[in-house]
Chain A
Amino acid sequence: MKLTLLYFASLRERLECPMERVEMTVPTENVAGIVAQLRRRGGIWDEAFAPGRAWRISVNQRMGTLDSPVAEGDEIAFFPPVTGG
């Protein structure tokens, strides 16, 4: 399964990555599976997505959760809590 991953704001800076296309190496049903694969990269990736850290998820430009289902070609974004207005 191929996915587009986007990172914003402090998370983008920390990971030094605004966008990437990834191929999931294990069957993945939801966002939690993607996060698990990202954490397996180790180092900063493991730290940034550790439980308890405040970050948000969107799936195809709608707010989502770790339980949100994902499918081929989806656009998943990770970002800190929003601070507009």
Chain B
Amino acid sequence: MPRARVQAEAFDAGIEIAALGEGRRDVGAVATFIGYVRDRNDGTGVSRMTLEHYPGMTERALEDICDEALGRWDLLDLRVVHRVGVLEPGDPIVLVAVSSAHRGEAFAACEFVMDYLKTQAPFWKKEETSEGSRWVDARSSDDDAAARWEAGKAP
């Protein structure tokens, strides 16, 4: 299984976490993040969402982010799974799972991968609301979160 995947179907976090520890006894920590579709955004109810991506570039961007994390922290392995297509409130969208010998690296790298994914990986969300459908605008707070990891500013 490639460590970065884009897929329409749901993922099983348990299987992804188990894969990180398979055949090895040096894993001391696995940190995971799962993002879900919420039923509200910017004060409006959301009934459904469609995620579009750029086949080829998106997978490559996710791989690049994984490489960057492996270069920055002493990690053992990691997985990123991002869903595309039609999703409903409560559905999981994205999974990041990072393994390392100690928790510090796993926590930090997990947050880093999400922050970079939010600003670097070509995905776009379109929401269905009671007022019609709308493309989700990028948030400047996501740029700020990603900028924290630039050289010399790592939290």
What is A's interface to B at a CB cutoff of 8 Å?
6, 8-10, 54, 58, 61-63, 77, 79-85
Contacts and interface: CB of A to CB of B under 8 A. Distances in A.
Contacts of B54: 6, 8, 58, 61, 77, 79
Contacts of B94: 84-85
Contact of A82 (B35, B93, B114, B121): B121
Contacts, number: 73
Given A6-B54, A84-B125, 17 more contacts: A8-B124, A9-B124, A9-B126, A9-B135, A58-B57, A58-B122, A61-B60, A79-B124, A81-B119, A82-B118, A82-B120, A82-B121, A82-B138, A83-B123, A84-B93, A84-B118, A85-B94
B79 to A, nearest CB: 15
B117 A83 contact: no
Contacts of B56: 61
Contacts of A9: 52, 124, 126, 135
